[in-house]
Each structure stands twice: as structure tokens, then as C-alpha cells.
Amino acid sequence: MSLLSSLRPRWKWIAAGAVFLAVTLTLITTATRAMVSSPDESRPFFEVQSGPLTISVSVTGTIKALDQEVITNEVEGQTTILYIIPEGSQVKEGDLLVELDASKLQDGLVDQEIRTQNAEASFVNARESFEVVKNQAQSDVDKAELAYRFAQEDRQKFLDGDFPLQARQAESKVTLARGDMKRAQEKVEGSRRLAERNFITSMDLDADEQSALKSELDLQIAEEQQKLLHDFEYKRQLAQLESDEDQARMALERVKRKASADVVQAEADLKAKELEHKREQSKLDKVKEQLEKTKLYAPSAGLVVYATTGQGSFRGNQEPLAEGQTVRERQEIIYLPTTDAYKAEVKVHESSLAKVRPDLPVTLAVEALPGHVYEGRVETIAPLPDAQSVWMNPDLKVYNTDIKITGATDGLRTGMSCRGEILVKEFDNALYVPVQSVVRESGTPTAYVLKNSKVERRAVALGLDNNRMVQIESGLKPGELVLLAPPLAADEMEQRTSLPRAEGTAGAGTGASAPAGEPAASPDTTPAPSAPAPSAERGPGSDAPTPDAARPQGEGPGGSDRGGMRSRFQNATPEEREQMRKQWEERLQNMTPEERQRMEERMQQRQRGGSDREGQPRPE
């Protein structure tokens, strides 16, 4: 069953209660009109009292251990309880408390072990490959550096050795050819003189002339070769050697970059494989740790209390813990009180928050231990309202408050319900009257005082209240008589009787729902609590809107089907009527003074509008 479905019957009871309260409203209004119009009728008065007055705030809550070990489920996701120790068992340190289902984790452990081994093999392979790449890279760099150095040496060798040698060889050829040519020419000249004298034949002269011509040609060739060596071969050879040096230098740079890239790639692959191996190993360790956490052991000796029992309040649709139930991660399972000290966790309504402060004394009564009274002090007050209560009822703002029990704690156990009275202040001699004796007229607290057989209106200054009596700071004297039911106009009376009145609860009267000096009615001498008439329209921005679920079938926002609601209420049994009245009263008790003030203003506007319409009766 969803939360909304569980709340619908409650709203139906509230709607029926609204009918009953509307009928009560009409009867009270009629009686009040008669009382105001009959000045001679006997009216109830209260004599202004002077004496001790205690201001306190009533709270309810749950008993909890002051110091306790909280056993939580640390297994990820959701898991099933296979075994849980019976609640109330006394355990020693190390005893097994809870065993959770570990079948999925065991299967996952095998799979994770396989993945971890594969990751380890990849990591070892990457590590060896990295060493190989490093060695190969170093070898390639050394080879490229050697080639570059050889290219530099070849260029230097050509400049300092080969070319000078070739130049000298060419120069020597030219010199030798020039010498040969000179000797051949001298020989030709001698041969010619001999030929003129017929000492040699013409053939010998021709041979000498041929030798001279050959030596001349050899000189020309040697000179041309020398010129080619200086003008062409030197430049070409030097350019080639310089190019080889540049190519070797660039090749060295390329090899270095490639070697560095290969090493970086191999190193990155190694790191990736290492991280992958570590991750898989971490997952394996986590699975093993999760397996260990499927068994929860007692960290210390103590009494076993299930968390669903120790919370002591509504927690969604949470079922009591049992074997076979599914629990989620971080869910509290068992409480182990470690000491005999206890505290009470209570909720303080926002209207009483200004009164409550740390170190205030508290008296507690436990429902399971009648006749026992425990002493305590307010220890902490939450800075923000309880989110669970706000979610259940956006109009209800309560603050979680811890009360440390300072006296004896005999008989107390975790989870017991308790009621408490937070003592705010004690007056030895205070002037006070019932809260219903003071009303607000135009924002001014006013009491009606009997004087000289007449009732007169008198403004008063208010102090603190305890939901029954309110302190009078000025405006009244001891012994004076004030009306318990102040005479209001008919429309004012209808408006006032529509406000919530309840004793001893937060949000009713001035003690828990009104600031100091702002009383409201109490049930001591007034009729049963009433609700705003169903036909009262709520304007936008209302702080206490009427949920649609609270309206009967066929009734619109205006609440026109009041007769049908009255009929359903009349057909209910007395027990059902009482249940309806209590449920509606509980909701009205949660209203703050500001909400009631706005409700009064809206009621006055509606009533004034109804009285101005001709031919239309005033709404009851």
C-alpha cells in the first residue's frame, strides 16, 4: 500500500469531522447570540488569581540509549538477510549478529579473479616490451649518431686531405707537362739545326716535332684537368659531402624522435596495463571485503535492538527486520547500547521553539512504567525542522530535540514511548487568568471585566502561558472577575469558534502555538474544537491549505455539499465520531498563530461580503 493510499481514509475522517465541527459552530454561534442579547443571563466568570505559575511545554517522544553501537549494512546495492540474531539477545564481543546473502558476491569473485589474472599477464607483457623498445631505441640512436659523425669526418677529410692532395697532383701534372713540352721544343730546335746540316734525316725531325706537339697537348690537358678540379669537382664534391652531413644530422634527429616516441608509447602502454592491473586487483580486494561484510559481528557486548524498533517513529513503509527481508546499503540494522545511560528523542513544535533552550529541566513519564518519573535536561535542539514530519504534513514544523536523562534509569529500554514537560519558567507570584478569557480585538489583547454589575472591555498586557493559564502583566488586578466566554459579535464569534482549541498540545492555544502574550482559547470551558466552515474559500498563498483529499465526493473547493457531509457524520457511530473529532483536532492543533490570524481575516472578509448581498442569508 502506498503512502497516499494509507492517508486517504484519514482525510475522509477529517472531512467528516469538519461537518461535525461546522454543526457545532452553528450551535455555538446561536447560543452566543442569545447570551449577548440577554444581559441578565448568568455568565461564567473567573476570578483573577495571583500566585505561583509554572510555564512548561509538553512533548512526546521515544527513549533511546545515550551511547550505542549502530550496526549498518555495508554491502553495496540490496541484499537479503539469511540470518539475524533474535531481538533482545545479550551478546558478547565478536558474536555473529547478521548474515547476508553472499551468492552473487561469490560468483563475482571468480569472475574478478580471472580478470585480475588477465590484467596481470598484460602488465608483464607490457613491462617486457617496454624494455625491448628502450634497447632498440638506444641502438637506433647510436647507429644514427655514428653515421652523422662519419659524414662530418668525410667532409672534413675532403677539405683538409683529399682536395689538397688532388690539387697538388693536378699541379704536378701541369708542371711535368710544361717541363716535357719545354724539353721537346728544345729538342725540335736542335733537330732542325742538325737537319739543315744533314746530320739527321727528315724522319727524325718529324719524330721530334711530333713529340713536342704531344708534350704541348699533355700540358693543355693537365691545365684543363687542374681547372676542372678547382672550378667544378671541388664544389660538387664539397656540396655532396655537406648534403650527406645534413642528411645524417636530420636522420639522427628523426631516429631520436622516433625512439623517444616509441619509448613514450611503450611506457604509456605499460602504465595503462599497470593501472588496469591495479584496478582489477582493487576490485578483487573490494569483492573480498564485501564478502567479509556479509557477516556482521558485535563490536562490543550489549543488548540487541532492531533498528526498526529503536527508531520508534514512522519511517515510510519499512517492515520489521526478519530473515528473508531485503535491506539496502547503509541501512541501519541493529543498535547495541553500550551503557545504561538513556536519552529521550522528542519533537518540539516551532511555536514553542522560542521557549525551549538547552539545559532546561525536564520531567519524563514512560507509558510502559506508570508511576515512575524521570528527570532530565534539554541537551540539543536541531537547527532545522524534521524532514520526515514536513514530508508527511507540510503545515507541521517540529524540531528534533534530545533530552538527556540525568537521574536513575531503572526499567528504561530503547524504544519506549514517553511524555515530558519541559519547565520553561516558574513564577512565585504571578497574575493569571485562563487563556480563553482573553481575546484579540484589532490586534490588542482584551479581557471583559465585571465592574458595578456591568461588563466592560479592558486592554491587557500578556506574558507567558502554559496552554491553560496566561500571565497578566498589566490591565487586571487580583480578585477581579473576567468573563470566561467574552461577548463577541455574531460574525466574530463564528470566526473565533472556528479556531482550534486543545489543551496541552503544540499548536493549540497560546502555550504552544502563539508567541508569549498572544493567547487563544482552551478546552477548559469552551466547546469541542471546530474547523473553518467547509464553504470558507482559501485565497492564494494560504499557509494552511485544505487538501482536496479532505473534501467529500462531489464537493468543490467552495464546499457547497455541506448537507451530504452532515448526513455522513450523523450516520457514523459514536466511536467513529470521536475518532473523526480527534483526527481533525490534531490537524488544527498544528496551526500557528499567524495561520489562525490569516484565517480570521479571511473569515471576516467572507462574512462581510455575505452580509452585504441583498436577499442572501448570512453563512452559518
Q: Is the pLDDT of residue 284 over 60?
A: yes
Judge if 320 and 287 occupy the same domain. no
Provide the pLDDT for residue 109: 92
Q: What is residue 585's predicted lDDT score, i.e. its pLDDT?
A: 65
As a residue count, the chain comes to: 620
Q: Kindly tell me if the per-residue pLDDT of 198 is higher than 70.
A: yes
- Distance from C-alpha of 105 to C-alpha of 99, rounded to nearest angstrom: 13
Lowest mean pLDDT among 21-30, 223-232, 277-286, 450-459: 21-30
Give the model's pLDDT for residue 277. Answer: 93
Would you place residue 390 in the very low, low, confident or very high pLDDT band (cuts 50, 70, 90)? confident
312 in the same domain as 276:
no
Does a structural domain hold residue 39? yes
Nearest CA among 476, 527, 523 for reference residue 502? 523
Query: Which of 388, 405, 422 represents a domain boundary (last residue)?
Result: 405
- The mean predicted confidence, pLDDT, of the chain is 76
Do both 20 and 117 map to the same domain? no
State the number of CA atoms in the 13 A half-sphere of 389 facing the CB.
Answer: 17
- pLDDT, tens only, 4-52: 344 344 444 454 455 455 544 444 443 333 333 333 346 788 999 999 9
Residues 213-230, mean pLDDT to the nearest whole number: 84
**pLDDT > 70 fraction of the chain, expressed in percent and rounded:** 70
pLDDT computed for residue 115 by the predictor: 93
Q: Is a pLDDT exceeding 80 seen at residue 596? A: no
Q: Is the pLDDT of residue 159 over 70?
A: yes
H or E stretch including 333?
A: strand 332-337
pTM equals 0.47
Structural domain span for residue 245: 106-293
Confidence band, pLDDT 50/70/90 cuts, at residue 449: very high
DSSP state, 266? H
Q: Which of 499, 498, 496, 422 is nearest to 466 (CA)?
A: 422
Say yes or no: 134 and 245 in one domain: yes
The structural domain count of the chain equals: 3
For residue 51, tell me if it sits in a domain. no
**Domain end (from 249, 268, 293):** 293
What pLDDT sits at residue 368?
Answer: 87
Is 125 in the same domain as 263? yes
- CA 502, 508, 511, 516 torsion-angle sign: negative
Strands (E), 23-135: 45-47, 49-65, 68-72, 78-84, 90-91, 96-100
pLDDT at 42: 62
pLDDT at 550 over 60: no
Same domain, 186 and 111: yes
pLDDT at 360 over 90: yes
Enumerate long-range contacts of 561-564, CB under 8 Å, 24 or more apart. 562/19, 562/22, 562/534, 562/535
Assess whether pLDDT exceeds 80 at residue 166.
Answer: yes
pLDDT grade for 568, boundaries at 50, 70 and 90: low
Q: How confident is the model at residue 273 (pLDDT cuts 50, 70, 90)?
A: very high
**CA nearest 335: which of 310, 360, 363?**
310
- Range with the lowest mean pLDDT among 83-97, 342-356, 378-392, 493-507? 493-507
Residue 336 cell numbers, joined: 547495541
Q: Identify whether residues 153 and 21 lie together within a single domain.
A: no
**Residues 594, 491: one domain?**
yes
User: Residue 411 falls within a domain, yes or no?
Assistant: no
CATH number at residue 446: 2.40.420.20
Q: Which of 241, 269, 293 is the last residue of a domain?
A: 293
15-24, 102-111, 325-334, 380-389: range with lowest mean pLDDT: 15-24
State residue 127's pLDDT score: 92
Residues facing residue 431 across a β-bridge: 50
Q: Which of 34-43, 243-252, 563-572, 577-586 has the lowest mean pLDDT?
A: 34-43
Residue 472 located in a structural domain: yes
Cell 493569571 locates to 432
Q: Is 53 contained in some domain?
A: no
CATH of the domain at 110: 1.10.287
In a domain, 549, yes or no: yes
**The dihedral of CA 131, 132, 133, 139: what is its sign?**
positive
The residue-averaged pLDDT of 497-502 equals 39
In a shared domain, residues 177 and 227: yes
Residue 93 has pLDDT above 70, yes or no: yes
Amino acid at 416: M
Q: Give me the pLDDT at residue 544, please.
A: 35
**pLDDT of 135:** 93
Residue 428 lies in a domain: no
Query: Are residues 140 and 157 both part of a single domain?
Result: yes
pLDDT tens profile 399-428: 999 999 988 888 888 878 899 999 998 898
pLDDT tens track for 293-320? 999 999 988 888 888 876 644 444 457 7
Q: Are residues 172 and 304 in the same domain?
A: no
Number of helical H runs and strand E runs in the chain: 11, 22
Query: Does residue 418 lie in a domain region?
Result: no
Per-residue pLDDT averaged across 505-527, rounded?
35
Q: Is the pLDDT of residue 97 over 90?
A: yes
Question: 83 with 26, same domain?
Answer: no
**Cα distance between residue 145 and residue 165, in whole Å:** 29
pLDDT of residue 598 exceeding 80: no
DSSP 8-state secondary structure symbol assigned to residue 85: P
| Banded model confidence at residue 572, pLDDT cuts 50, 70, 90 | low
